[in-house]
């Protein structure tokens, strides 16, 4: 098994996992479109055979609406369906790998100090401790330039 250090093929692990996820999404979309096309062609052959009143014994060759063509499209449709499921599994795995990695590098937020169950009154002045323990009396909403004019 490969152990991932800071870089993988010149990229960070996060970038590598993002790239794998992008490739998995592209593969899934491609196979889905391919399946839709195969399904449409298969249904077209079925519909045309029905519209032309072909029986099972009619046109059993590779003609446009022949049974060999129909059966071949059906097998192709099933193969592409399997690839869709496989690529969906790969996509789910890539998402999970990236999520797991991001969770492993996330820095937990410090817990908020417990106020002891006290609820501060809305009208009461805010008592926030400033660096050095001193309140800044400077009002940032007004400037000295405005006072001079």
Give pLDDT tens digits for 94-142.
Answer: 999 999 998 888 877 777 666 555 665 666 666 555 555 555 555 555 5
Task: Give the span between the Cα atoms of 69 and 79, in whole angstroms.
Answer: 15
Given a cut of 70, whether residue 13 has pLDDT beyond it is yes
Place of tokens 């099933």: 78
- Report pLDDT for 1: 41
Which band of pLDDT confidence, cut at 50, 70 and 90, is reported for residue 51? Answer: very high
How much is the pTM? Answer: 0.60
Q: Which two tokens stand for residue 52?
A: 């032309």
- Report pLDDT for 60: 82
Between residues 16 and 4, the one the model is more confident about: 16
Task: Give the span between the Cα atoms of 137 and 141, in whole angstroms.
Answer: 12
- Report pLDDT for 121: 61
Do the beta carbons of residue 83 and residue 30 sit within 8 Å?
A: no
- Report pLDDT for 109: 76
Domain ranges for the chain, please list them.
Answer: 7-105
Given a cut of 60, whether residue 58 has pLDDT beyond it is yes
Encode burial over 49-79: b for 16+ CB neighbours within 10 A, e otherwise: beeeebeeeebeeeeebbbebbeebeebbee
Q: Measuring CA to CA, how many Å separate 51 from each of 19, 47, 71, 119, 139? A: 48, 6, 18, 78, 85
């Amino acid at each position: 098994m490969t152990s991932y250090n800071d870089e993988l093929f010149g990229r960070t692990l996060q970038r590598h996992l993002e790239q794998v996820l992008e490739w998995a999404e592209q593969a899934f979309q491609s196979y889905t479109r391919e399946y839709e096309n195969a399904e449409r062609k298969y249904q077209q052959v079925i519909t045309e055979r029905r519209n032309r009143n072909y029986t099972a014994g009619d046109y059993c060759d590779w003609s446009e609406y022949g049974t060999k063509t129909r059966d071949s499209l059906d097998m192709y449709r099933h193969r592409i369906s399997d690839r869709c499921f496989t690529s969906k599994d790969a996509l789910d795995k890539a998402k999970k790998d990236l999520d797991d990695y991001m969770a492993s590098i996330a820095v937990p937020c410090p817990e908020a100090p417990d106020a002891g169950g006290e609820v501060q009154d809305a009208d009461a002045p805010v008592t926030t401790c400033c660096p050095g323990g001193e309140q800044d009396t400077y009002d940032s909403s007004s400037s000295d330039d405005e006072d001079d004019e």
